[in-house]
Chain A
Amino acid sequence: QKEVEQDPGPLSVPEGAIVSLNCTYSNSAFQYFMWYRQYSRKGPELLMYTYSSGNKEDGRFTAQVDKSSKYISLFIRDSQPSDSATYLCAMREAAGNKLTFGGGTRVLVKP
């Protein structure tokens, strides 16, 4: 079993729709949670990060963490064609340096 599971997609939505992404994990020691966006043939860029359970909002993006269920989510409101990319969840323990990634979900926002 992988430490972090993420549906590979692709997830296709019309422009303006809400995009809903999620990851599940098995390691209860994970404390820091991140979402990255990766365009084709580019390096990932950090979108959102959270520490505690609950919601965090930044513009069109909302990140949720439910540590009791070992489940994290990212919502993108008013999606745009420029949001078409692969979204990767990542997480790490409080100690150490290892950032563990999900496999990524490919998102297509159609005009």
Chain B
Amino acid sequence: SQTIHQWPATLVQPVGSPLSLECTVEGTSNPNLYWYRQAAGRGLQLLFYSVGIGQISSEVPQNLSASRPQDRQFILSSKKLLLSDSGFYLCAWKPPWDAYGYTFGSGTRLTVV
């Protein structure tokens, strides 16, 4: 069966520090991968998605970047965090052929102080 791993679960970082969040998927190949951010009490906002290694599409221009160095690995990064980067970050995957099968990880709660 397929599983998605996302870590860390909680992170407190000072303003101006770098960020690296990692997401990996097991049990499948060539998944579509997504990074979402959820502000407190709000819906999910798509940040980046990838349909293959090295292929990244950005939905919202901001202080963040994403990379896909391996087929089942998706990384969200920042060189210098801002207070506004605080939020709940969710990684998700979907088989390319499935219209509905978005599966989310357990999320990383990031607080920038």
Chain B residues within 8 Å of A, Cβ to Cβ:
6, 32, 34, 41-46, 49, 51, 57, 59, 88, 90, 92, 94, 99-107, 109
Contacts and interface: CB of A to CB of B under 8 A. Distances in A.
B98 to A, nearest CB: 10
Nearest to A102: B43
A104 B42 contact: yes
A43 B42 contact: no
Interface stretch (A12-20, A72-80, A91-99): A91-99
Interface residues of A, number: 24
A71 interface: no
Contacts of A41: 88, 107, 109
Contacts of A90: 44, 102
Contacts of B57: 97
A49 B107 contact: no
Interface in A26-71: 32, 34, 41-46, 49, 51
A46 B4 CA distance: 15
Residue from B43, B49, B102, B105 whose CB has the most chain A CB atoms within 10 Å: B43
A60 to B, nearest CB: 20
B103 A46 contact: yes
A44 B99 contact: no
A6 B105 contact: no
B3 to A, nearest CB: 12
B51 A43 contact: no
A42 B102 contact: no
Contact of B44 (A8, A45, A49, A101): A101
B66 to A, nearest CB: 13
Contacts of A88: 43-44
A10 B24 CA distance: 34
Given A42-B106, A42-B107, A43-B106, A32 B100 contact: yes
24 contacts: A32-B99, A34-B102, A42-B106, A43-B6, A43-B92, A43-B105, A43-B106, A44-B44, A44-B90, A46-B102, A49-B99, A49-B100, A51-B99, A90-B102, A92-B99, A97-B34, A97-B49, A97-B57, A98-B49, A98-B59, A99-B46, A99-B102, A103-B41, A104-B42
